[in-house]
Structure 1
Amino acid sequence: MQVLAALCFLVLAHLPPLRGEVVGSFQDVPECLDFFYGGKVPEWGAATPGVARLCQRFENRYHFATLYDTLHRIAVYSAYRFQTGNDPTRNDWCIEPQLVDGSWNAGMEEEKDLITEHKGVYFGERQALEEDYINSNYDRGHLNPKQHQSGDSRQATFTLTNVVPQTPNLNQKAWNDYETYLQKNLKTCSQAYVLVGAIPSANNWIIKNNVKRVNIPDYIWNAYCCLDNNGRPIRSGGATAPNTEQTSVKRHTLSELKEFLSQYQSPVEELFLNNCGA
């Protein structure tokens, strides 16, 4: 029995640690680091107060990564690998259990299921809830959009940590048109890595019961890096759009985008490894 116990101890000691969704560093989880070109995580946004790093997990698999601002209750950015498909989605919105309690399940869950499991617990201290968006006059605007994903990864985009309040015109028209353009553009890449983020406003919020609940961003931004069959960068670019009802999308080079982002937070440095260059 003692020998068996010793063997069990040795096996368990050499097993990789179980990783939750909320991690200290994206570098801690190799599967999560895969959503950044060359494993290069941008410095931009890392110093955001109250930031949490989410390896977005659904159906026991990682699908993308999100740097999440728990004070403004919006994403700083989501990072993903482009894929496309026409798979159906249920559009059931999830939240992140480990933003409530680090010991809870690692995978995203629907709020109604968590209510059943954890009666009397408030889930919205560090993240937005579905009720925040109801009657707010703002859409739940995806950062990692469903049309840039397939299979379970498509469904995994429906977590409230991957959305920010967007005006209906931006979400349903201007930014949606840009996402469609980008979808066609990135289909010609062998691989493509994408970052989509938000610039929080100074004092514009969705307010519920006289409480500032979810910050309404001033801008949405995007950056992408397209690779050939040999894994070499062949083109890159980005875009920005004001989060207003009368809005349009402005396309940028990566250098122009970095200059834009530097107005709001430093350092920007590289958004992609070697600035998505050869």
Structure 2
Amino acid sequence: MLSRMQTLGNLFALLSLLCCVHADVVERFEDVPECVKYFYKEKVPEWGASAPGAARLCHRFSNRYHFATLYDTNHRIAVYAAYKFQPSNGGGREKRWFVEPQYLSRSDSQFKAEGVAALQLVDMSWQAEMKEGYWLGKDHPGVYQGERQALNEDYTHSGFDRGHLNPNGHHAVPSRNATFTLTNVVPQNPKLNQDAWRIHESRLADLFRDTCSEAFVLVGAVPSAGDWIVKNNVRRVNILEYLWNAYCCVDNNGVPVQSGGATARNTGANRVEQLSLDELGEFLQQFSNSPVGALFYNNCRA
């Protein structure tokens, strides 16, 4: 009798777990409450949403979500990452680089052969949490991990840093660790990454700690027209032309108290330009044939 009760208990526990697991790749951020919360008042930007190959990732680590990314599978860099600032609690720098398992299970040709949209279907038998590429390869030998996302080896000897969009220094552990997914990095000029952009991120952290009850942040990349990291004569990762970010700072009542944006050309010029949200929208409009729209609800106005 005890053995049967234990079996039933284990079954109920398993069913309970299965009912609460969410896919890492989602059709709409709005469909996942734990993921859409990273956007101010749950307003998801229109910017980049209609780009060919755009996919929506809810980054899962230690069995919970930590931030959201609109990922450009054609360029293998993010359109933007969305997160809420957290004061750092230390914890050092993650030494591993993760990939997204549910995002590499089958090839585009397999999806097309089955008559379904490649970016709306994932293999749910694969884990939802990000995992280090080495160990994922051990779990699934023979499966190529880099069909629709960048790999660690793409950056090796490329001359570019693995530049975080969502910076690890804007988080406490374990969200800090979760930023070390390769879908959250871009090929960044080393001088810019280690100097002007790093200083900009640090100043934002000071501002958020001193001024905001909550700070909602978007950090994005504008791809270049034709510059790529090339491996074995294959264009692997687009070398972005610009970095940009935007923030909406609110008080204890959720009322906006400050906002702003910034851009930086991805070169050794090592310069960050501060902008208002309106100015940032005008900047991004240069790279879009459709209206950019507000990056935050009501453009972060009270």
Q: TM-score range by the shorter chain?
A: over 0.9
Superposed, which structure 2 residues align to 1:209-220 within 5 Å?
Answer: 209-220=232-243
Which of residues 22, 34, 41 in structure 2 aligns to 1:19?
22
1:62 partner letter:
Y
Q: Distance in 2 between matches of 1:232 and 1:44?
A: 24
2:270 partner letter:
T
Superposed, which structure 2 residues align to 1:137-176 within 5 Å?
Answer: 137-176=159-198
Q: Distance in 1 between matches of 2:253 and 2:103?
A: 39
Which residue of the partner structure matches residue 91 of structure 1?
A: 95
Post-superposition offset of 1:17: 5.9
Which of residues 30, 38, 46 in structure 2 aligns to 1:43?
46
- Whether the aligned pair in 1 keeps the contact of 2:70 and 2:78 (CA below 8 Å) is yes
Where does the alignment leave 5 or more consecutive residues of structure 2 unmatched? 1-10, 106-121
User: Which secondary structure does the structure 1 equivalent of 2:195 belong to?
Assistant: helix
User: Which secondary structure does the structure 1 equivalent of 2:201 belong to?
Assistant: helix
1:98 partner letter:
Q
Which residue of the partner structure matches residue 243 of structure 1?
A: 266
2:163 partner letter:
G
TM-score (norm 2): 0.86
Q: Distance in 2 between matches of 1:91 and 1:223?
A: 28
Post-superposition offset of 1:267: 2.1
Q: Deviations over 1:102-145 (max 9, x none)?
A: 22111100001111100111110000000000000000000000
Q: Deviations over 1:179-222 (max 9, x none)?
A: 01111111121100000000000000000000000000000000
Residue 134 in structure 1 maps to residue 156 in structure 2: yes
Compute the RMSD of aligned alpha carbons. Answer: 1.7
User: Which secondary structure does the structure 2 equivalent of 1:222 belong to?
Assistant: strand
Q: Distance in 1 between matches of 2:173 and 2:153?
A: 27
Post-superposition offset of 1:230: 1.2
2:203 partner letter:
Y
Post-superposition offset of 1:98: 1.1
1:204 partner letter:
D
Superposed, which structure 2 residues align to 1:48-197 within 5 Å?
Answer: 48-85=51-88, 86-101=90-105, 102-103=122-123, 104-188=126-210, 189-197=212-220
Which residue of the partner structure matches residue 255 of structure 2?
A: 232
1:56 partner letter:
H
Q: Distance in 2 between matches of 1:107 and 1:89?
A: 19
Residue 272 in structure 1 maps to residue 296 in structure 2: yes
Post-superposition offset of 1:89: 3.1
State how many pairs are aligned: 269
Q: Distance in 2 between matches of 1:48 and 1:141?
A: 22
Post-superposition offset of 1:87: 2.3
Where does the alignment leave 5 or more consecutive residues of structure 1 unmatched? 1-7
Residue 256 in structure 1 maps to residue 269 in structure 2: no
User: Which secondary structure does the structure 2 equivalent of 1:230 belong to?
Assistant: coil
Q: Distance in 1 between matches of 2:237 and 2:197?
A: 20
- Whether the aligned pair in 1 keeps the contact of 2:195 and 2:270 (CA below 8 Å) is no
Q: Deviations over 1:215-274 (max 9, x none)?
A: 000000000000011110001000000000123000000000000001112321110011
Q: Distance in 2 between matches of 1:47 and 1:16?
A: 31
Percent identity (aligned): 59
Post-superposition offset of 1:99: 1.1
Q: Distance in 2 between matches of 1:232 and 1:159?
A: 32
